[in-house]
């Protein structure tokens, strides 16, 4: 049958009042599936546009029709592939049972080198989220969780690349707020996403976890108030941070960087302090083994500063004043010694000093007697900070005594 004659036949059948499962419609579907194997580009595109009109009326032929469209999605010609992407959307719209399988195919197609096609695939994936957010998010999460069965290096590289593409897609839909509208709080879709991401944490690289936290989970409203899932997430991140620290400690150089652990400092502060998820005691216990003078001296100066800032921030947020906190405050001479090297020039160092002094002041009002070494450490800071701006605050803070006890006055602002 000539191409023009074939297309006229299909259009006649589409507009015919015949029964939806008539023999003519079944014949039309069979010929459309056959047309996907044509050498004609226009014939293939025509088939892609029309298969969705017929396939769902003939369950016994659905598999052949779907597979024919999948072949079009991998055609050598871009226009044909793009027609195939649209056909998948239409078929999922008409038959929701195909959403999962079609979404899985679309996820694989994110690896296309043509950005215009990638944009169409992303659009098609979002439409599948609209059709069934829970199922489609489940498909996306399946690509995020590393497989225990893969050992081939090339396959692992491909899987890592696809995971990054999937994470980028989810993050973009979260950032644009479109995904949030499809995920009611505590609904099935949100649960599917959170369970999928949480289960991946122990197996993912530290950089992948960082992206998930910063670009996806921290943007979701479930963390807006303390909740059980927030506490679960806090513990997951804390466990990852402990594993990262173990890896960093496996470096036996005299001075070692916290290359992996450093990635977790900001997320931990966000979770435990800003989002108020989990117990601050747990975070303090994570930092404590790194704070002794001998251990601290083996860490690079840059990481010392980051560690001290985040620990001090945590201690500042922890308003409890007990013997355990007082013992930690007794370590501050070592902290001031480290900070004195950078306090005149580094804003981070200056902020850490202020937080330390403020925390010392709070403790003195609750039964803490500041030891001479702590006072000496604070005085060492006063000798290197400029006597202007915030430096004036430091000088004022370390001069004041009440009775026999040093009282560090906070500037109130």
Helices (H), 250-371: 262-269, 280-287, 293-296, 301-317, 323-329, 332-339, 347-364
Q: Which residue has the higher pLDDT, 188 or 341?
A: 188
Q: Quick one: pLDDT at residue 114? A: 93
101 CB neighbour count, 10 Å cutoff: 16
Q: Quick one: pLDDT at residue 155? A: 86
Contact indicator for 226, 277 with CB cutoff of 8 Å: yes
Instruction: Give the mean model confidence (pLDDT) for residues 378-388.
Output: 67
Instruction: Give the mean model confidence (pLDDT) for residues 247-254.
Output: 89
Give the long-range contacts of residues 105-108, CB within 8 A, separation 24 or more: 105/70, 105/73, 107/139, 107/140, 107/143, 107/162, 107/166, 108/162
Q: Quick one: pLDDT at residue 368? A: 83
- Summarised one tens digit per residue, pLDDT across range 344-382 is 788 898 889 888 888 888 888 788 888 888 877 777 777
310 CB neighbour count, 10 Å cutoff: 22
Q: Quick one: pLDDT at residue 390? A: 53
Residue 399 has pLDDT above 70, yes or no: no
Helix (H, G, I), strand (E, B) or coil at 230: helix
- Summarised one tens digit per residue, pLDDT across range 111-148 is 999 999 999 999 999 999 999 999 999 999 999 988 87
Contact indicator for 359, 315 with CB cutoff of 8 Å: yes
Q: Quick one: pLDDT at residue 381? A: 76
- Summarised one tens digit per residue, pLDDT across range 4-33 is 898 999 999 888 877 777 888 999 999 999
Residue 403 has pLDDT above 50, yes or no: no
Q: What percent of the chain has pLDDT over 70?
A: 92
How high is the mean pLDDT of the chain? 89
Q: Which residues are CB-neighbours of 35 under 8 A, at least 6 positions away?
A: 6, 43, 44, 46, 47
Q: Quick one: pLDDT at residue 66? A: 97
Measured between alpha carbons, how far is 210 from 315 in angstroms, rounded to an integer? 23
Q: Which residues are CB-neighbours of 347 under 8 A, at least 6 positions away?
A: none
In this structure, are strands 401-402 and 405-406 parallel, antiparallel, or unpaired?
A: antiparallel
| Sequence spans of domains, the chain | 319-413
Measured between alpha carbons, how far is 407 from 370 in angstroms, rounded to an integer? 8
HEC letters along 141-206: HHHHCCCCCCCCHHHHHHHHHHHHHHHHHHHHHHHCCHHHHCCCCCCHHHHHHHHHHHHHHHHCCH
- Dmax (CA) of the chain: 105
Q: Is 84 exposed, middle or buried (0-12, 13-18, 19+ CB in 10 A)?
A: buried
- Nearest CA to 142 among 189, 190, 116, 107? 107
Instruction: Give the mean model confidence (pLDDT) for residues 29-40.
Output: 95
Residue 236 has pLDDT above 70, yes or no: yes
391 CB neighbour count, 10 Å cutoff: 18
H-helix or E-strand spanning residue 405: strand 405-406
Q: Which residue has the higher pLDDT, 291 or 396?
A: 291
H-helix or E-strand spanning residue 401: strand 401-402
Helices (H), 340-406: 347-364, 372-382, 390-397
Contact indicator for 95, 113 with CB cutoff of 8 Å: no
Q: Which residues are CB-neighbours of 175 under 8 A, at least 6 positions away?
A: 215, 219
Task: Name the band, by pLDDT with cuts 50, 70 and 90, for residue 341.
Answer: confident
Q: Which residue has the higher pLDDT, 236 or 341?
A: 236
Q: Quick one: pLDDT at residue 257? A: 94
- Summarised one tens digit per residue, pLDDT across range 166-184 is 999 999 999 989 999 999 9
Q: Which residue has the higher pLDDT, 167 or 252?
A: 167
- Nearest CA to 308 among 335, 284, 281? 335
Measured between alpha carbons, how far is 212 from 70 in angstroms, rounded to an integer? 30
Name 406's bridge partners.
Answer: 401
């Amino acid at each position: 049958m000539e191409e023009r004659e074939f297309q006229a036949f299909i259009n006649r059948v589409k507009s015919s009042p015949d029964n939806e499962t008539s023999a003519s419609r079944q014949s039309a579907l069979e010929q459309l599936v056959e047309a996907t194997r044509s050498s004609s580009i226009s014939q293939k595109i025509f088939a892609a546009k029309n298969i969705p009109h017929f396939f769902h009326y003939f369950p016994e032929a659905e598999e052949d029709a779907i597979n024919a469209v999948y072949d079009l999605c991998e055609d050598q010609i871009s226009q044909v592939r793009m027609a195939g992407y649209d056909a998948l959307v239409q078929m999922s719209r008409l038959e929701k049972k195909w959403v999962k399988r079609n979404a899985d195919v679309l996820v694989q197609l994110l690896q296309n080198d043509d950005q215009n096609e990638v944009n169409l695939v992303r659009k098609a994936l979002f439409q599948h989220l609209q059709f069934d957010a829970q199922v489609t998010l489940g498909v996306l999460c399946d690509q995020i969780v590393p497989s225990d069965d893969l050992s081939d290096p090339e396959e692992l590289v491909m899987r890592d690349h696809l995971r990054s593409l999937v994470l980028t897609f989810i993050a973009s839909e979260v950032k644009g707020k479109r995904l949030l509208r499809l995920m009611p709080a505590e609904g099935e879709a949100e649960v599917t996403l959170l369970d999928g991401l949480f289960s991946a944490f122990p197996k993912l690289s530290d950089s992948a976890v960082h992206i998930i936290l910063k670009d996806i989970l921290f943007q979701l409203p479930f963390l807006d108030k303390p909740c059980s899932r927030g506490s679960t997430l806090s513990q997951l991140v804390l466990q990852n941070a402990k594993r990262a620290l173990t890896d960093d400690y496996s470096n036996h150089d005299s001075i070692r960087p916290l290359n992996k652990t450093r990635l977790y400092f900001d997320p931990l502060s966000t979770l435990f302090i800003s989002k108020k998820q989990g117990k601050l005691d747990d975070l303090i216990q994570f930092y404590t083994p790194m704070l002794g003078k001998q251990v601290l001296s083996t860490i690079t100066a840059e990481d010392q500063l980051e560690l001290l800032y985040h620990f001090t921030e945590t201690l500042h947020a922890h308003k409890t004043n007990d013997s355990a906190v007082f013992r930690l405050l007794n370590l501050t001479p070592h902290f001031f010694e480290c900070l004195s090297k950078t306090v005149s020039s580094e804003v981070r160092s200056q902020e850490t000093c202020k937080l330390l002094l403020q925390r010392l002041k709070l403790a003195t009002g609750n039964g803490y007697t500041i030891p001479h070494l702590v006072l000496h450490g604070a005085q060492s800071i006063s000798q290197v900070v400029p006597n202007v701006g915030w430096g004036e605050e430091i000088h004022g803070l370390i001069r004041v005594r009440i009775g026999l006890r040093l009282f560090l006055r906070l500037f109130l602002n």
